[in-house]
Each structure stands twice: as structure tokens, then as C-alpha cells.
Chain A
Amino acid sequence: MNTKMKVLSLALVGLCGYAGSAMAVCPTDPAQPTGAWSSKSVLGGSLTVSTPGYETTECKLDAAITSATFGSAYVRDESPASEPHYRARFLVDTDALTGLNSLQSVRLLSANTETPYLSIGETVRVSVFGNLAGTAQSLAIAAGCEGATSNLCSTNVPLTGASPHVVQIEWIKGTTGTINVWVDNGVEGTPTATLPGNTNGWVVDYAVLGLSTSSPGYRASQLNKVVSFDQFDSRRTTFIPSP
């Protein structure tokens, strides 16, 4: 069954029918009731909706960590419900994170379970970090995988070229489960990375998009720098084409 759970592109949802119009008005708040998202958290962070968006959309979500001691700036989608198969696709612009190095990481997306298994609540998560020299960025993808070291499957995918980057994850529950990742890659049959593992203990109950779980190094060096998001789309099964 091809069930589409939610399209949360600010341009498509937040504009209430004005998408593509020169008269478009972005929502002032990404969370309900004006925005599409279930809720938001801006504890030690900021979330704003700005215009224009990416790839011809009118609006995008700008997130920044503003506190040196803690910080979150994310929106939450409660649409999933014990999902055994989950896809999410979004655009992210991390170009403002200049000098991002290996002590500096921040989470961009997580699909989570309400009932953590093996003390892991993030069914699958995506973070961005830098190399030792602070000259290149990569995405770290990690997922709960029972029996793997630290009960985690993980891989890194380098970000090459200019932002925005198109990121899609597919998480499949099972004792022989799979996590597929596409980064700036619109070819369904050839994921950028594939992680096999026992994901059977987890489901997806909600998703978080934005900045969270920032490292102390990130807060020390990337304070107030804006990371922008757009065109979030989540589904149960069907590949989400690149915009």
C-alpha cells in the first residue's frame, strides 16, 4: 500500500494554497495551528520561516542554536504511528556552518519510537559533522540495530557540492532489516548507503526535523549560524523523487 503520511514542505502546506504565487505568505510559525508541524521546540535555539525556499518553493525553515550551554530548534511530526517502514526526504542547507570539524556535530533529523528499545529511542537519525580540518562536512546516519556494536548500525556519507542537499532515508523493520540512504541521489535502485541489521525492536512513532543534540564543540563554534530546511516529505514505503 502506497500510503503517503505527510508532506510538510513549507511551500506546499504552510502557504495554504498560495504556493507559487507572487502573493505567497509564509506562516509565521512552523507549528500548528498556523504551520503544518505538530509542535516545535526552541529551547536555546531559534526557528523562523523565511522566504524564498529552495527549488522554487516560497518558504523554508531556518534553525539555529543560540545557547552555548544547551539548545534545540526543531519541529516535530506526530503523523507516524508504530510504523514498520518509514521514509523521509528533506532538503538541508548547511553552508553557514563554516569550519565545522569533528568535535562539532548536530542532529538534523530523527525518526523515533515512543518505547525505546535497548535504551535507544532514535530509530534512525541523521547528523552533520565536519572532518578534522574543518574543511568538509559529512552526514552521520545511525540506527538501532540489535546485536551490532553499541546496538547501532552507522555510516558516514560526505556532503559534496553546494547546498541545499537532498537527503532521503528509508528504514525497514525486521530481524534482517535495512536502512537505505540517498544523498543528492535521485536513483531509487542505487542508494548512497545501505545498512543491514536487526531493527526489529524499533518502530517509528514521530519524527523530529531541525537542530538538536548539538555537541559542546558545535555550541562553542557554530552559535547562531542558520541551517535551513525545506520540502520535508515522509511516507511509509514509496520512494520520494527528488524535487
Chain B
Amino acid sequence: MKKLQKPLLALGLVCGLGVAGQVFAQDCATPIAIHSNETGITGDTCAAGNPLPTYGGTGSPQNEVVYSFTAQDANATISIASTGGYAGTTPALFLLPACTAASDPIQFGAPGADMPVNSLTNGSTYFVTVTADPGGPNAGCGQYTVAVNGILPVALQNFSVE
């Protein structure tokens, strides 16, 4: 009997948990993987770039940090809170079906208004951007903490070959 256990093996766990909160990549080409029930994700959009100058028709000159996941029965909420900065504005989360300036966002979230993540296409890659209110100052930015409550991709808890 061969028994293989892969606790907490979530899709996208390649670069994973040890670097949660570290902004080592933050654009569309190399987004940061975000996982189910992941907490303590921190970052600073003031230190980020502006890889998406627009979200479709919504202007987004504010900097953003880009996260991604491959959906599999996604059913989660993502919360965001400010830990500094964001003068005259508020942190914001957006869910995008593609990481292009032409993509209209599917959902958004803000402090106190968690972003729902559900009804997605299994196997498709989605992008979560952390930015500032597009309706706020163009230079709006700050430090944040993000938490996932629920499933983005299904986490494989156990796999056995008998």
C-alpha cells in the first residue's frame, strides 16, 4: 500500500505559504498566488506599480498589487483592512477574470465590505488586485492586510493509493 498525504496542497501552492505577505512580484506576468483560507497577507501599494491603468472603463491610475488563483469550486470572501497610508481614500479589492486593462471587474471589496468570490468557472485563472478606491485620489495608496475566508481552489486534504 502506498499512501501519499498532501495536507494543505492547494492549487497554486507553488511559491507559497512561506512568503505570504512578501511582495516579490506584483504584476500580471508574475502575480502572487493567493490561497484558500489564507490570512496575514500584507503589502504596500505605495511600493507597487500600476500594471493595470484601467479596469475596463473604470480608471485605475492608483497602484495595485496583483494576486491570482485558479478557481475550483470557489466559495469565499476576501477581506481587506488598512494598516497605514490611504490618505483621503480607502483600500480596495477587485476580482478580475483576466489581467488586462480591458477587463471589467467582477466584484470589489473594501474595509467592512468583504469581496464575495463565488460562481466562478472551474479551472479558470482569476486575479485579485489590491489597490485604492478608483474614485479617490489618483495617487491613493497605502499598506494593507488581506484575509481569505473560504475556498478559492479546492485544497487536497488527503490522497491515498491502496
**Chain B residues packing against A (C-beta within 8 Å):** 49-61, 90, 92, 94, 100-101, 104-108, 110, 113, 133-136, 138
Contact = CB atoms under 8 A, between A and B. Distances in A.
Interface string A95-133: 000000111011100000000000000000001111111
A157 to B, nearest CB: 9
A215 B104 contact: yes
Contacts of A139: 59
Nearest to B94: A102
Contacts, number: 106
A150 B49 CA distance: 12
A154 B135 contact: no
B151 to A, nearest CB: 23
A11 interface: no
B79 to A, nearest CB: 14
A190 to B, nearest CB: 17
B59 A155 contact: yes
A-side interface mostly: strand
Given A132-B135, A138-B135, A105 B57 contact: yes
A164 to B, nearest CB: 20
A234 B57 CA distance: 23
A218 B55 CA distance: 13
B146 to A, nearest CB: 16
Nearest to B104: A215
Contacts of A154: 53-54, 59-61
Contacts of A153: 53
Contacts of A36: none
B59 A129 contact: yes
B-side interface mostly: loop
A107 B113 CA distance: 27
Contacts of B90: 132
A155 B106 CA distance: 21
Given A129-B134, A131-B135, A149-B51, A142 B59 contact: yes
Contacts of A196: none
Given A132-B90, A149-B53, A150-B53, A127 B59 contact: yes
A152 B57 CA distance: 13
Interface of A: 101-103, 105-107, 127-133, 136-142, 148-150, 152-156, 158, 213-218
A141 B135 contact: no
A131 B88 CA distance: 13
A14 B147 CA distance: 57
B53 A156 contact: no
A215 B52 CA distance: 16
B58 A129 contact: yes
Contact of B101 (A105, A150, A216): A150
Contact of A215 (B58, B135, B136, B138): B58
A132 B110 contact: yes
Nearest to B133: A132
B104 A152 contact: no
A135 to B, nearest CB: 8
A156 B61 contact: yes
Contact of A105 (B58, B100, B110): B58
A54 B110 CA distance: 37
Contacts of B57: 105-107, 127-129, 140, 213-215, 218
Contact of B135 (A102, A107, A148, A217): A102
Contact of A156 (B100, B106, B110, B134): B134
- Nearest 3 pairs of A and B residues by beta carbon: A131-B135, A140-B59, A105-B57
B31 to A, nearest CB: 15
B134 A103 contact: no
A130 B92 CA distance: 13
A227 B150 CA distance: 40
